[in-house]
Structure 1
Amino acid sequence: MDAQIALMLAQDGFVTGAIYALMALALVLVFSVTRVIFIPQGEFVTYAALSMAAIQAGGVPSAIWLLLGLAVITLVVEGWRHWRGAHVDWRSTAVWAVAFPAVAAVLALAVKPTAAWAQTLLALLLIVPMGPLLYRLVFRPLAHASVLMLLIVSVALHWVMVGLGLYFFGAEGARTASMWDARWNVGGLPVSGQSLVVIGAAVVLLAAMYVFFERSIIGKALRATAINRVGARLMGIPTDLSGDICFALAALIGAVCGLLIAPITTIYYDTGFLIGLKGFVAAIVGGLLSYPMSVLGALLVGQLESFSSFWASAFKEVIVFTLIIPVLWWRSLKTRHVEDEE
């Protein structure tokens, strides 16, 4: 290996590490607020990428039917809860189950946008509402369940979403048009505009999330819910809506990741699983608590995967996932065991 190859591998590691950093951010956010280890995070990546490919091809993205189905089921469930005497926030329900799906349906079925920014907006409108709808249907009824139970349900939901992805999008892979076709040669190192778009978008999104959690009232409410859910409820913070918001942010981050990587690699209906799992490895490095450590873990995973693909491409996945063993061992020595009931 010479210096030029090493620089190329490092560049690829930073690009993939940026994606894993966003995935780790979403996983830490969801877990800290709702205690859910959200295994299907990668499916948002897949759905967004394949939806964008269908939009660019001039067709109707199949995700619209999935979104409308989730919206109808959510409205039925919320109506049943209201009939049973439970409190239902109809304003937020109208936003996630009526307004967003209606706008997405109009754009997908009637307008069929051709401008790049409008196509991106439509892809986001198709995917982002799925987060809160899935939370309301699957995880909110289990809000007081153990972490193990939530993990089992999360794994089950992952396989359901993979099956739905196969049904709605088919087994064929797809790519999207590059967001920036420029290419440069810097000291013998080829640099593509799409790689810069991925890294730049990841940095902007990470910075935006930092400002959101540090400066905004909603972000501070989410942090308070993550630290002490009961205390946040006593202070008047609607903790049920916190789940909606964090799942919406997770879906947004996953959708953005899908739009960023679709021009780089072919995306299949089950591609998101490995992407989400590597983001999970990065989140484990941060203890599922620390955003900065999760980002550093994601960059480590990206570099490890890139150089492993050169030295031992057949075992690169094994090498990446083996990283989780020493991390868990180290954390088991440094942390005190706490029962879930505590």
Structure 2
Amino acid sequence: MTWDVALILGIDGMANGAVYLLAGLGLVLIFSVTRVVFVPFGDVAAFSALSLAAFEAGRRPATIGLVLTLAALAVVVEVVSLARRGEFARIPRAVIGWGVLPALPCLLAWAVGGQQVPHAVFIATAILLVVPITPLVARIALQPIADASTLVLLIASLALHFLLSGLGLLFFGPEGSRTAPLAEGSLALPGGFSVSAQVLLMMTSAIVLSAMFFLAFERTAIGKALRATAVNRIGARLVAIRPARTALLAYTFAGVLAGLIGVLVAPVTTMYYDSGFLIGLKAFVAAIIGGLVSYPLTAVGALAVGVVESFGSFWSGALKDVIVFSLLIPVLMMRSAMTRHPEEEVEEIDQ
């Protein structure tokens, strides 16, 4: 391998790492607030890409039907829950929150679908259209078991992935789609190299969004409420922070990140209804490197995963995923060695 090839692979790896960085931030955000490893995160990103492809093809995206179906189920679940508790006065508000609000981006998508509007409108609509999916799915399947163990929540989240994947096949079909580049041209580098504007856009978006993410958590009341819930759920309740509300905010913000990932990835790879699973899985590797709690370490892990994947595909395209997932082994061994286990503490006390 020459230095020229290594530089090209490094740039490609950083572009992939930028996508995994955004996905990893979403996974860490959800897990830190709700203890849920949200496996279907990549599926939401894939739906965003397919929605944008449908807009560009002059069609109304099938995501409209998917969101409306999930909204109807969420309304039923919420109304039944309120009726069992005798809180009938809150039912109209629940219908508005879980039924009407998710339908608004669907109405927007129906209006712009097949119309001649600026491409930026299609991008914004595709992102807004998938944002409700994450909180709706959480309300239907995860909120009723919010107090269960982390293992039960993980199993439920994995089942949700298969459910959303099946719904994706039902609504979108097996055909793949790729969208037009979001940015044209390239940047010339010394030595005769060039970087496409699409790659630069992906890396710049990751940097800007990560900075905004940090500022939102450090400077805003909402960010501080999310951090408080992540640190101590009981303490958050004592200071009038409702974990259910912060969980809704976490799922919503993660939905925005998933939508952005979809529109960023769609121009560089063909997306299918189940293409998001590998994106979410590799972002999970990055999140594991960060311990599912550290945003800076997750960012470092995401870049490492992207670079390793790029070089792995050069050495063996068939084994690149195996090489990436093999990163988990030394990371888990190191974390296991550095973590003090409760059973060891019990043995020390007995001695």
TM-score, shorter chain, exceeding 0.5: yes
CA contact (8 A) 2:128 2:259 kept: no
Query: What's 2:183 paired with?
Result: 180
Q: CA deviation at 1:239?
A: 1.2
Which residue of 2 is the match for residue 106 of structure 1?
Answer: 107
Instruction: Summarize the Cα distance change of 1:37–1:85 in structure 2 as closer, same or farther, 3 Å threshold.
Output: same
Q: Which residue of structure 2 aligns with residue 45 of structure 1?
A: 45
- Are the equivalent residues in 2 in contact too, given 1:131–1:244 (CA < 8 A)? no
* 129, 132, 135: which one aligns with 1:132: 135
Shift of 1:313: 1.8
Corresponding residue number in structure 2 for 1:332: 336
RMSD (Å) for aligned C-alpha atoms: 1.5
SS of the aligned residue for 1:171 comes to coil
1:9 matched to 2:16? The reply is: no
TM-score (norm 2): 0.93
1:220 aligns with 2:221: no
In structure 1, the residue matched to 2:121 is 118
- Deviation, 1:92, is 6.9
| Cα offsets for 1:236-273 (capped at 9, x unmatched) | 01211111110111111111001001001111111111
How far apart are 1:95 and its partner, in Å?
A: 3.8
Query: Could you tell me how far apart the structure 2 residues matched to 1:195 and 1:71 are?
Result: 35
State the secondary structure of the residue aligned to 1:84: helix
The yes-or-no answer on 1:63 pairing with 2:63 is yes
Q: SS state of the match for residue 72, structure 1?
A: helix
- State the 1:89 CA deviation: 8.1
Worse overlay, 79-88 or 266-275? 79-88
Q: Does 1:321 find its partner at 2:322?
A: no
Distance 1:150 1:162, change over 3 A: same
2:164 corresponds in structure 1 to 161
Q: Which runs of structure 1 show a deviation greater than 4 angstroms over 4 or more consecutive aligned residues?
A: 86-93
> In the TM superposition, what whole-angstrom CA distance separates every residue of 1:22-78 from its partner, at most 9, and x where no partner exists?
111111111110000111111011100001100111101000001011111111221
SS of corresponding position for 2:195: strand
Code of the residue aligned with 2:211 in structure 1: it is A
CA distance in 2, matches of 1:299, 1:86: 50
Q: Is the 8 A contact 2:229 2:236 kept in 1?
A: yes
Q: Find 2:201's aligned residue among 158, 183, 197.
A: 197
SS in 1 for 2:85: coil
Aligned length: 338
Please say if residues 105 and 125 of structure 2, whose CA atoms lie closer than 8 Å, have aligned partners that are also in contact.
yes
Classify 1:36/1:93 alpha carbon distance in 2 versus 1 (closer, same or farther; 3 Å): farther
For structure 1, list consecutive stretches of 5 or more residues without a partner in the other structure: none
Q: Is the 8 A contact 1:4 1:188 kept in 2?
A: no
Q: What amino acid is aligned across from residue 129 of structure 1 in structure 2?
A: P
Structure (1 or 2) with the larger CA radius of gyration:
2
Q: Percent identity?
A: 49
Equivalent pair of 1:172/1:268 in contact (CA under 8 Å) = yes
Out of 149-158 and 68-77, give the one that drifted further: 68-77
1:110 Cα offset (Å): 2.8
